[in-house]
Amino acid sequence: MNILLVGSGGREHALAWKIAQSPLLSRLVLAPGNPGMEALGETRPVKATDVEALVALAREIAADLVVIGPESAVDAGLADALAAANIPCFGPSRAAGQLESSKAFTKAFCVRHGLPTGAYVVCDEAAAAKAALADFSPPYVIKADGLAAGKGVVIAQTRAEAEAAIDDALGGRFGAAGARVVIEEFLDGEIGSLFALCDGTHALVFGHAQDHKRAYDGEQGPNTGGMGTYAPAPLFTDDLVERVRKELAEPAFAAIAAEGHPYRGVLFVEFMATAQGPKLVEFNVRFGDPECQVLMLRLESDLVPYLMACAKGELDRLPAPVWRDESAVCVVLAAQGYPDAPVTGAAITGAEAELGADVAIFHAGTVRDEAGVLRAAGGRVLNVCARGEDLVQARTRAYEAVSRIDLPGGFHRTDIGWRALAR
């Protein structure tokens, strides 16, 4: 098979790493890819949101399948354009992608279809939003409505902090994504990430993990796109997985299809395990980043048949995926100033050394300059991942690998997996 993988971050590097292992693969083209992905396939300098050029590229390489990595490509309508060109695609339509591209849409969707989630209000004017805070108790959850690369969420401990977050969002900090804000009830419990595949009709749970959103150790600092993940997590008992499947994932697939937008691809269900059961925090219409990284390290099955089955409506023909017994950990190395104002350009050393079969370093935000030097080019720069017999061994291996990498001014959390270790 000829496969075109769209995207350039750590999630896409992890997907490329796994796809490249498939015996079904003939040719892998990565658009635009990144320096770490160059060894896995051909990179082409086509942006993930350049729909016309991506469709042309898919035709040029006679792609048997296009795999959409980032939500920006979903929102740009890439799946719709590929469908019009009769090119199989793993990734939902733009309309189905509203489950991520608009938090206001998703909250109303949950109410329409009875999916468990917290109370909320949507505002597009600061005075009304600040007045609405009276209906909520601290901590206050303030979210930009649109796509903000995982940075549009503020959990404010005080009314003043909440009002400042409202002013930030509606004042243009997140551009068009912050034209509306969603104020949500704070859900008390333990957070989890579950993934489910759908081919428009049939659904299948496809792994789970636990991540760390705050920038600093001890769940301190601003929310980020994710500073690390681990799997499996003790949170995910068989009973909880079954409840999330029955109460959130499968009802979401059925409901979005009933509204005329059958879902084809992966749905990331971020939920809070509360005393009343799992409640939706948010949906994402792609693999999590950096959750995808630990999923790919643990996935024993060939990934490609599942991607193709989603695109072709044949998911019911495949068995449940097989997962390795080992644990996996991902530690994110971030640039100084992330998430607010990351400093780019720092030269990176040690990231391309061979560190063994159980260690993988995925590039999240890197470029190679004219002299061939690897440099930081984003907020999250590298994902250092490792497998082990258990969480302790996987974590030790990951941090040993981190110690061999030099990212001047960079930082990382040192407590990935603390919830599981605390048990």
Nearest to 155 by CA among 143, 145, 172: 143
- Taking 70 as the threshold, does the pLDDT of residue 29 lie above it? yes
Distances (CA, A) of 60 to 66, 78, 218: 12, 16, 49
How far is Cα 98 from Cα 75, in angstroms, rounded to an integer?
8
Within 10 angstroms of residue 422's Cβ, the number of other Cβ atoms is 8
pLDDT for 304: 98
- Residue 354 pLDDT class (50, 70, 90 cuts): confident
Residues 6+ apart with CB under 8 A from 28: 3, 5, 16, 19, 20, 40, 41, 42
- Which contiguous run of DSSP H or E holds residue 298? helix 291-298
How far is Cα 35 from Cα 8, in angstroms, rounded to an integer?
9
What is the end-to-end Cα distance of the chain in Å, rounded? Answer: 45
- Residue 310 pLDDT class (50, 70, 90 cuts): very high
- Name which residue leads in pLDDT, 171 or 367: 367
Share of the chain above pLDDT 70, in %: 100
Mean per-residue pLDDT for 366-383?
Answer: 96
What 3-state class would DSSP assign to 117?
strand
147-158 pLDDT, tens per residue? 877 678 888 999
Decide: 335 and 410 in contact? Cβ < 8 Å.
yes
Average pLDDT, the chain: 96
Burial string for 324-362 (b: 16+ CB within 10 Å, else e) reads: eebbbbbbbbbbbebbeebebebebebbeeebeebbbbb
CA-only gyration radius of the chain, Å: 20
- Taking 90 as the threshold, does the pLDDT of residue 175 lie above it? no
How far is Cα 394 from Cα 331, in angstroms, rounded to an integer?
11
85-129 pLDDT, tens per residue? 999 999 999 999 999 999 999 999 999 999 999 999 999 999 999
Cα four-point dihedral sign 408, 410, 415, 416: negative
Distance of CA 214 to the CA centre of its chain: 15
224-280 pLDDT, tens per residue? 999 999 999 999 999 999 999 999 999 999 999 999 999 999 999 999 999 999 999
How far is Cα 301 from Cα 303, in angstroms, rounded to an integer?
6
pLDDT for 202: 97
